[in-house]
Amino acid sequence: MDVKTEEERWAVWMVQARRFAERENFPDAVARMKLVRDSVQKAVGQATGANERMRLEVRLARANEQLEQMRLQYEDWHSKIAARRQHTIDQAAEEMARPLPVTSD
């Protein structure tokens, strides 16, 4: 795939971020969306025409929206893992109190 413009690159990165999120690879998804956001912010600062600036601001708003959505998904995913981990820790004393299984010779 030959990416010629920045906008094509941003589109590819956004698709990659969505696919990372679909596979629950939220740290990479969030990092990729931050890359898009920062790159678009830089382009907005360098924009000269009003139409170009408006178009880039719309893309920036979309990137910020998707970044926030992925952050929320990441926080939810992370809290579920933390809850499972805490449940395992809470059950450790009970598990250690059980006798070991008897093995056959």
Residue 66 falls within a domain, yes or no?
A: yes
Structural domain for 36, as ranges = 6-73
Residue 101 falls within a domain, yes or no?
A: no
Is pTM beyond 0.85? Reply is no
Q: Which residues does 59 contact at the CB level (< 8 Å), separation at least 6? A: 7, 10, 40
What are 26-66's pLDDT values in tens digits?
Answer: 889 999 999 999 999 999 888 888 898 899 999 999 999 99
What is the percentage of the chain residues whose pLDDT exceeds 90? 57
Report CA 89 to chain centroid distance, whole Å: 27
- The sign one gets for the Cα dihedral 26, 30, 35, 40 is positive
Confidence of residue 3 (pLDDT cuts 50, 70, 90): low
CATH of the domain at 62: 1.20.58.80
Which pLDDT value is given to residue 105? 65
> What single letter denotes the amino acid at residue 18?
R
**For the chain, how many structural domains are there in total?**
1
Residue 93 falls within a domain, yes or no?
A: no
Residue 97 falls within a domain, yes or no?
A: no
Residue 30 falls within a domain, yes or no?
A: yes
